[in-house]
Structure 1
């Protein structure tokens, strides 16, 4: 069993790709209103909203369990509507040496194809792959879609 891996999920949505990206990059604090079953809070810990190098503090639920993380905005590409968050601290770091998630929004006809890529390194072979994080990303994306369709 490999200690390093990658999980990818692609979700077709009826969201506007610009609005989707803007929400995740510049207004993630609104996610607690958009997806309250998944995000309980997001605060700016250091830097500026949406800026590479900024650190966000998140309170979220994965598999019904509260998680608290500090995440670095490691990469952002406005042209490709892509952003990468790397976890610096939190409960999840008890089982992963490294974990980062990239989300990219691509135009797909009239729809938007959202691709989540989670790259990780486990602390040992007994740690499960982060499938629950991919499930979380799918559910969060669908909540964002529902919000935008209102």
Structure 2
């Protein structure tokens, strides 16, 4: 195994993908009201280059990450975050998370991509972070399903 890696995971959502993309790109401060794993969002949001601090639960531990939003592509429904400070950088030299939403009729999918570089060979792949992203997605989905039965 190398120090650099890439994880991909896709999950179906029942609410419209445009809304999912809008929340991640323009309104991440709404995430804590939709999720048990997202505790707080601070900072600016909604523009490329904005810095946001996320407080979340991963693997049973509360952690913090400061991110820069490198890409908000409303046409392709892509949001890309680059971690610049926080707990993830204790294990990874670089950590980039991308959410891409695909909408085809009534079918809406979110593809999460994590591109990372580990500080040491023995550091595990960030599978618990992918699990966290799936949990967050499911909680957002449940929130919108309950709000719009």
Give the TM-score normalised by structure 2: 0.95
Q: In the alignment, what sits opposite 2:116? A: 120
Deviation string 1:102-138 (CA, Å, 9 cap, x unpaired) is 0011113302110000000000101000001110111
Q: In the alignment, what sits opposite 1:20? A: 20
Please give the root-mean-square deviation of Cα atoms over the aligned residues, in Å.
0.9
Give the secondary structure class of the aligned counterpart of 2:15: coil
Q: In the alignment, what sits opposite 1:73? A: 69
In the alignment, the residues of structure 2 paired with residue 57 and residue 23 of structure 1 have an alpha-carbon distance, to the nearest angstrom, of 15
In the alignment, the residues of structure 2 paired with residue 85 and residue 123 of structure 1 have an alpha-carbon distance, to the nearest angstrom, of 19
In the alignment, the residues of structure 1 paired with residue 45 and residue 128 of structure 2 have an alpha-carbon distance, to the nearest angstrom, of 27
Q: In the alignment, what sits opposite 2:128? A: 132
The unaligned stretches of length 5 or more in structure 1 are none
Give the secondary structure class of the aligned counterpart of 1:57: strand
Aligned partner of 2:107 among 103, 108, 111: 111
Q: In the alignment, what sits opposite 1:38? A: 37
Superposed structure 1 runs of 4+ greater than 6 Å apart: none
Please state how far the C-alpha of 1:64 moved relative to its aligned partner.
1.2
Give the secondary structure class of the aligned counterpart of 2:116: strand
Give the secondary structure class of the aligned counterpart of 1:49: coil
Give the TM-score normalised by structure 1: 0.94
1:6-17 matches, within 5 Å, as 6-17=6-17
Please state how far the C-alpha of 1:11 moved relative to its aligned partner.
0.3
Equivalent pairs counted in the alignment come to 146
